[in-house]
Amino acid sequence: MTDSVTITDNRTGESIEIPIDNGGVDARQWSKLLPGTWFFDPSFSTTAAAESAITELDGENGILRYRGYPIEDLAENSTYLEVAYLLIHGELPTQTQFDEWVHEITYHTFIHENVRKRFMEGFHHDAHPMGILVSTLAALSTFYPDAKNIFDPDSRHKQIIRLIAKMPTIAAGAHRHSVGMPFVYPDNSLDFCSNFLSMMWKVAEPHYQPDPVLVRALEVLFILHADHEQNCSTTAMRVVGSAHADPYSAAAAATSALYGPRHGGANEAVIRMLGAIGSLDNVDDYIKRVKAGEVRLQGFGHRVYKNYDPRATIIKRTAYEVFEVTGHNDLLDIALKLEEVALADDYFVSRKLYPNVDFYSGLIYQAMGFSTEMFPVLFAIPRTAGWLAHWLEMLDQDSRIARPRQLYTGPEVRAYAPIDARS
């Protein structure tokens, strides 16, 4: 048996044999045999768009690793900033490297006063914080014109630090704006997650000190969300980055992708769904409606995981720890019952639909006091590290501009008719 695939063009009888390498075949070889014949794969479900050494995801076996480290070990022992370093640099930092990394990020958390005062405050009072985040990220490219020097290692490093550092500041600022509260400046004496919580919730106290259980829960959630290989937003980052746009513009595109309910907006949909179900008595009815195709079971199913999403297991545990501090959330009981009923039902089992990362994350965020509009923002903060790791990798791979082809299905050529001659 040879590890290869042979494709024959039956019109000409010509064949080409292509090796199967690392689970893939190089489709570029095929175009030599079949110029002008395209592989039709509209949602890229059978396409490997990149070679990547960042995140390993084995959906059949429920495995997720960053740079070889199991997600369970990282969630147990690490912090978001350490994981961000790992994703971007490929190795865990030494103590000296870590101290320097944390110092640089801590000292880049402030945003330009014009961004805050003139730009962010210009949004309508009920603007969705994700819309504010997308626009503010794009606007940052105008404040850092040096970001265009994407092949200058110093400039790249500076933009990476700025983006990771400023995301929580913009995120919290978007929330404060939407509730009419004054902006809270970053507190450099706090760690990354505590500082974010301080910017979110500080009122009149001289020094905001969040509950350590909630800080740890946020660290875990940020670690779990930091990367997920070639997902929709990361693909957007790589595609826009492949045009050599600056990283702020590319991150704004990635954040826009994350805004969608099929991606970063799913945990918001879970909370709405649990609220609409309202009580344990309505769970069976809801499952019936899902099976009839009337509604989706939000937070269930995944393009890649065909087994329990390992992130969901960790998040479920974290949810219990958070509820110890914040008090019981009745929606958790509905979620648990939904999970129990679904996992015993052939509709879900035969389609390999299991809880994904979003099934429990919204419950934690809600218990911590975040509005549902902030949920995708809370996803975007840590995913920035993953986006940037992929952006760097893509640039270093000497990639060509992303430019798929299409199968044209429109009209044949026709003559232009003046407006008064059209029926």
Name the residues annotated as catalytic. Answer: 263, 302, 358
Name the DSSP letter for residue 355. Answer: B
Q: Report how far residue 378's alpha carbon sits from residue 373's, in angstroms, rounded to the nearest whole number.
A: 10
Contact present, 320 and 217 (Cβ < 8 Å) = no
Q: Which residues bind ligand CMC (CB under 6 A)?
A: 228, 231, 262-263, 266, 290, 296-303, 351, 353, 356-358
Q: Least separation, in Å, of the C-beta of 56 and ligand CMC? A: 15
* CA atoms of 203 and 241, how far apart (whole Å): 39
- 340/143 Cα distance (integer angstroms): 50
Q: At what angle do helices 153-178 and 192-201 cross, to 10 degrees?
A: 30
> 18 pairs with which residues across the strands?
5
β-strand 4-9 against 14-21: which pairing, if any?
A: antiparallel
CB of 209 to ligand CMC, least distance (A): 32
Q: Say whether 123 sits in a helix, a strand or coil.
A: coil
Comparing CB distances to ligand CMC, the nearer of 223 and 353 is: 353
Q: Which two tokens stand for residue 358?
A: 């979003």
Contact 209, 230 (CB under 8 A): no
- Helices assigned H by DSSP within 150-308: 153-178, 192-201, 212-225, 232-242, 247-259, 266-277, 283-291
Residue 274 CB, nearest approach to ligand CMC (Å): 13
Which residue, 159 or 235, has its beta carbon nearer to ligand CMC? Answer: 235
Q: Are 261 and 269 in contact (CB under 8 A)?
A: yes
For 69, other C-beta atoms within 10 Å of its C-beta total: 16
- Candidates 312, 398, 396, 297; CA nearest to 351 is 297
Tokens (6 digits) for 380: 């975007």
Q: Which CB sits closer to ligand CMC, 159 or 231?
A: 231
Least distance between ligand CMC and beta carbon 55 (Å) = 12
Of 50 and 258, CB closest to ligand CMC = 258
Residue 293 CB, nearest approach to ligand CMC (Å):
7
Residue closer to ligand CMC by CB (options 56, 211) is: 56
**Shortest distance in whole angstroms from residue 362 CB to ligand CMC:** 10
Nearer to ligand CMC, 105 or 331 (CB): 331
C-alpha span between 382 and 272 (Å, rounded): 24
Helices (H) and strands (E) in the chain, counts: 18, 6
Hey, what's the torsion of the CAs at 109, 322, 372, 177, to 10 degrees?
-40
Query: Which of residues 192 and 305 has its CB atom nearest to ligand CMC in the complex?
Result: 305
Closest contact distance (angstroms) between CB of 6 and ligand CMC is 29
